[in-house]
């Protein structure tokens, strides 16, 4: 008998749960941007009790796919939308700036690479650190998978669209990349600046064309390698005016100076308005 009562109450609870849906804005996409968007959602929901914001990961392109097809309201992404997706009417909002830097195992004996050297290290023309003034160590290139946004930036900015050599070690996430570089003699990689700053003891940064990566260098325009974190909406699929309003208010909240200064900076990104001159495409 007790089991039956329990089962009934569970059922009733389920029904209630299904019917009592608040106004929900769904956000999907980049796992890298996930944490700050989630933090924004928590703050935003506290200030606006009537609104629910559900953030789920899935990857940049999942976010873009879903926002294009109307599967979610906001898609967050490290990469730009494809031409097809743009044709379908998705709208870009840059929400943060993400600086990138070259890193290497501390023992390689190189502190700076020119843009040509950096390119040749990753295309495989340069195979030993002594060719660029370092120790006699084989270069071990650690990179992200094809579909990664970081790799897209690296290919465009460092390799100038040439192909990577095949002699690479591929790591799924930036965390794994940093671990590899820290433990592998001769390793070199390309990561978000925050990951260098968190791991300064284990890996060393490499300047690019003589400029070391830092928030200030990006802000002043001295350091050229960075990308935007994007939030995409698809106005054509946002038919519910209440959801539309909530989604817009949420995006506006992310761009408020308070959030950009307090959270975005703390999370290792840069506020969008640091970079006034927008680059067209990454």
Query: What part of residues 97-156 is at the interface with other proteins (CB under 8 A)?
Result: 140, 145-149, 152, 155
Answer yes or no whether residue 217 interacts with other proteins by CB under 8 A: no
CB of 221 to other proteins, least distance (A): 28
Using alpha carbons, select from 230, 228, 229, 238 the residue that is nearest to residue 26: 238
CB of 213 to other proteins, least distance (A): 19
CB atoms within 10 A of CB 160: 12
Is the Cβ of residue 145 or residue 210 nearer to other proteins in the bound state? 145
Is the Cβ of residue 93 or residue 195 nearer to other proteins in the bound state? 195
Asked if 108 and 134 count as a contact pair (C-beta separation under 8 A), the reply is yes
- Site residues (CB under 8 A) for other proteins, limited to 147-206: 147-149, 152, 155, 163, 166-176, 178, 180, 183-186, 195, 198
Is the Cβ of residue 93 or residue 151 nearer to other proteins in the bound state? 151
Is the Cβ of residue 66 or residue 217 nearer to other proteins in the bound state? 66
CB of 209 to other proteins, least distance (A): 25
Give the span between the Cα atoms of 4 and 12, in whole angstroms. 12
Residues 222-261, one symbol each (x = binds other proteins by CB under 8 A, - = not), give ----------------------------------------
Give the span between the Cα atoms of 107 and 90, in whole angstroms. 46
Is the Cβ of residue 103 or residue 217 nearer to other proteins in the bound state? 103
Q: Residue 210 corresponds to which tokens in the numbers above? A: 């003589």
CB of 245 to other proteins, least distance (A): 19
CB of 133 to other proteins, least distance (A): 21
Answer yes or no whether residue 69 interacts with other proteins by CB under 8 A: yes
Is the Cβ of residue 112 or residue 127 nearer to other proteins in the bound state? 127
Asked if 141 and 168 count as a contact pair (C-beta separation under 8 A), the reply is yes
Q: Which of 13, 89, 210, 221 touches other proteins (CB under 8 A)?
A: 13
3-state DSSP of the chain: CHHHHHHHHHHHHHHHHHHCCCEEEEEEECCCCHHHHHHHHHHHHHHCCCEEEEEEEECHHHHHHHHHHCCCCEEEECCCCCHHHHHCCCEEEEEEEEEEEEEECHHHCCCEECHHHHHHHHHCCCCEHHHHCCCCCECEEEECCCCCHHHHHHHHHCCCCCCCCCCEEECCCHHHHHHHHHHCCCEEEEEEHHHHHHCCCCCEEEEECCECCCHHHHHHCCCCCEEEEEEEECHHHCCCHHHHHHHHHHHHHHHCHHHHHHHHCCCCCEEHHHCCCCCCCC
Stretch that binds other proteins, among 66-74, 92-100, 206-214, 241-249 (CB under 8 A): 66-74
Q: Which of 23, 45, 251, 253 touches other proteins (CB under 8 A)?
A: 45
Is the Cβ of residue 13 or residue 133 nearer to other proteins in the bound state? 13
Q: Which of 55, 118, 121, 255 touches other proteins (CB under 8 A)?
A: 55
Q: Which of 6, 8, 12, 42 touches other proteins (CB under 8 A)?
A: 42
Q: How many residues bind other proteins (CB under 8 A)?
A: 73
């Amino acid at each position: 008998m007790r089991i039956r009562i329990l089962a009934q109450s569970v059922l009733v609870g389920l029904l209630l749960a299904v019917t009592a849906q608040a106004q929900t804005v769904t956000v999907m996409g980049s796992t890298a941007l996930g944490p700050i968007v989630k933090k924004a959602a928590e703050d935003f929901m506290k200030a606006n009790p009537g609104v629910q914001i559900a953030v789920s990961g899935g990857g940049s392109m999942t976010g873009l796919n879903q926002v294009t097809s109307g599967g979610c309201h906001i898609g967050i992404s490290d990469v730009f939308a494809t031409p097809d997706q743009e044709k379908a009417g998705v709208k870009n909002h840059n929400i943060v700036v993400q600086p990138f830097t070259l890193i290497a195992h501390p023992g390689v004996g190189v502190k700076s690479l020119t843009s040509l050297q950096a390119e040749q290290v990753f295309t495989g023309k340069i195979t030993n650190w002594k060719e660029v003034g370092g120790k006699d160590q084989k270069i071990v290139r650690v990179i992200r998978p094809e579909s990664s946004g970081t790799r897209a930036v690296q290919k465009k900015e460092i390799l100038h669209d040439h192909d990577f050599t095949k002699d690479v070690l591929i790591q799924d996430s930036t965390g794994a990349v940093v671990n590899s570089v820290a433990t592998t003699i001769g390793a070199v990689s390309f990561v978000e600046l925050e990951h260098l700053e968190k791991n300064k003891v284990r890996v060393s940064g490499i300047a690019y064309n003589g400029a070391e990566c830092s928030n200030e260098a990006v802000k002043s325009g001295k350091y050229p390698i960075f990308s935007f974190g994007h939030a995409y909406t698809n106005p054509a699929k946002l038919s519910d005016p209440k959801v539309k309003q909530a989604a817009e208010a949420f995006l506006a909240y992310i761009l408020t100076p308070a959030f950009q200064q307090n959270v975005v900076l703390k999370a290792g990104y840069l506020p969008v308005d640091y970079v006034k001159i927008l680059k067209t495409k990454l």
